[in-house]
Amino acid sequence: MYDLIVVGGGPAGLTATVYAIRKRLNVLMISKDLGGKTNYRLALPWIEDYQVIRGLEIVNKFRSELEYLKFARHMEPVERIDQDEKGFNVYTRGGGELQAKAVIIASGTKQQRLEVPGEKQFIMRGLCYSALSYAPLFIDRKTVVVGEGDLALRSAAELATVANHVHLVGLTGDALNSVLGKKLASSANVTILENYTVSEVKGNGFANQVIVQNPDGQDETIEAEGTFIEMNLIPNSQMVKDFIDLDDQGRIKVDCYARSNVPGLFAAGDVTDSYAEQVLVAVGEGAKAALSAYEYLLPML
Ligand SMILES: Cc1cc2nc3c(=O)[nH]c(=O)nc-3n(C[C@H](O)[C@H](O)[C@H](O)COP(=O)(O)OP(=O)(O)OC[C@H]3O[C@@H](n4cnc5c(N)ncnc54)[C@H](O)[C@@H]3O)c2cc1C
């Protein structure tokens, strides 16, 4: 039986695991990969080495510690977690079953894809999924934001403060009647394409055009140096959904100690309802979850 199992090897999970090792806990990190979403890197033709706040140095340091400490990691997806009188049982895809007194879930979120021609080809080459991270790189640039929910709305609003123009594709109804929606509708550098859909992303090395279909079924071409797919994120919380409190978007609800409603079950990073989806936030939340789990385990050590 492990003291602690950490699920996920992104910034939150790596940080939590390294903290737990430092506290001499008997810890195992189970993950599909090392680094999580920090493996993405946006390339743009007008920027060689850009200044984005990322915290990659610290993530890479923790990642290389885990690469070296093979006994502390297991590379496989977790399918399900349940609980009995001894602690938590963690079931992996290959049929493995591992036990721990405490668990930290740091499994992040999935981005929804558009699934149109050109999307795969231009991912992180002019086409990306995080205006929150990259909007400041698009000063005076032509941009397109695609999405139906709050994330698209706020992404378009942020881009509109710096970009030459923002075409917003996919938003309708309630979202457009919100405060931000009304502000966008009255902004000179924003065009809202209600009831349009995206049919293709085109480019030449980097994405530079978005083909949209108008409500009459005809194609139109929008020139875009940056295309942001901002459809609401899907939290990877399925493994605990049957016995833990989730919010209406499926994120694990945590308190300011990174505790879920189940004693011994902690969560950190993008999979939780804490604000905001950024590397440095996930690193901090991972550290907090490990320290909190340590306090929980202390009477049992
Ligand atoms: C395209 C893009 C660019 C971004 N750029 C920036 C940026 O420049 N600066 C910035 O601060 N933030 C950026 N972000 C946001 C940032 O990457 C995330 O907020 C951060 O990575 C969240 O860390 P995390 O550990 O919570 O989750 P993740 O990084 O998503 O890591 C989750 C981990 O859990 C693992 N996992 C998932 N499901 C399972 C399972 N069932 N079993 C086992 N393991 C599982 C994954 O393999 C992964 O290792 C960007 C996000 C995207 C999508």
Ligand 1 lined by 155 (C-beta under 6 Å) = no
Ligand 1 lined by 125 (C-beta under 6 Å) = no
Ligand 1 lined by 40 (C-beta under 6 Å) = yes
Cα 6 to middle of ligand 1, angstroms: 15
- Rounded CA-CA distance 128/52 in Å is 14
Ligand 1 lined by 292 (C-beta under 6 Å) = no
Cα 109 to middle of ligand 1, angstroms: 7
Sign of CA dihedral 147, 13, 3, 71: positive
Please tell me the predicted confidence (pLDDT) of residue 71.
93
Nearest protein Cα to ligand 1, atom 35: 8
Cβ pair 144, 166 in contact under 8 A = yes
Cα 12 to middle of ligand 1, angstroms: 8
Please tell me the predicted confidence (pLDDT) of residue 205.
94
pLDDT in tens, the chain (301 residues): 999 999 999 999 999 999 999 999 999 999 999 999 998 888 888 877 666 667 888 999 999 999 999 999 999 999 999 999 999 999 999 999 999 999 999 999 999 999 999 999 999 999 999 999 899 999 999 999 999 888 999 999 999 999 999 999 987 777 888 899 999 999 999 999 998 999 999 999 999 999 999 999 999 999 999 999 999 899 999 999 999 999 999 999 999 999 999 999 999 999 999 998 999 999 999 999 999 999 999 999 9
Torsion of CA 268, 274, 280, 283, to 10 degrees: -10
Nearest protein Cα to ligand 1, atom 1: 129
Nearest protein Cα to ligand 1, atom 6: 133
Please tell me the predicted confidence (pLDDT) of residue 81.
98
Cα 278 to middle of ligand 1, angstroms: 9
Nearest protein Cα to ligand 1, atom 15: 278
Ligand 1 atom with least separation from CA of 111:
53
Ligand 1 lined by 227 (C-beta under 6 Å) = no
Choose one of 17, 75, 79, 107 to mutate for the ligand 1 pocket test, by most ligand atoms within 8 angstroms of C-beta. 107
Ligand 1 atom with least separation from CA of 129:
1
Choose one of 31, 33, 37, 234 to mutate for the ligand 1 pocket test, by most ligand atoms within 8 angstroms of C-beta. 37
3-state secondary structure the chain: CEEEEEECCCHHHHHHHHHHHHCCCCEEEEECCCCHHHHCCCEECCECCCCCCCCHHHHHHHHHHHHHCHHHEEECCEEEEEEECCEEEEEECCCCEEEEEEEEECCCEECCCCCCCCHHHHECECEECCHHHHHHHHCCCEEEEECCCHHHHHHHHHHHCCCCEEEEECCCHHHHHCHHHHHHHCCCCEEEECCCEEEEEEEECEEEEEEEECCCCCEEEEECCEEEECCCCEECCHHHCCCCCECCCCCECCCCCCECCCCCEEECHHHECCCCCCHHHHHHHHHHHHHHHHHHHHHHC
- Rounded CA-CA distance 239/91 in Å is 9
Cα 112 to middle of ligand 1, angstroms: 14
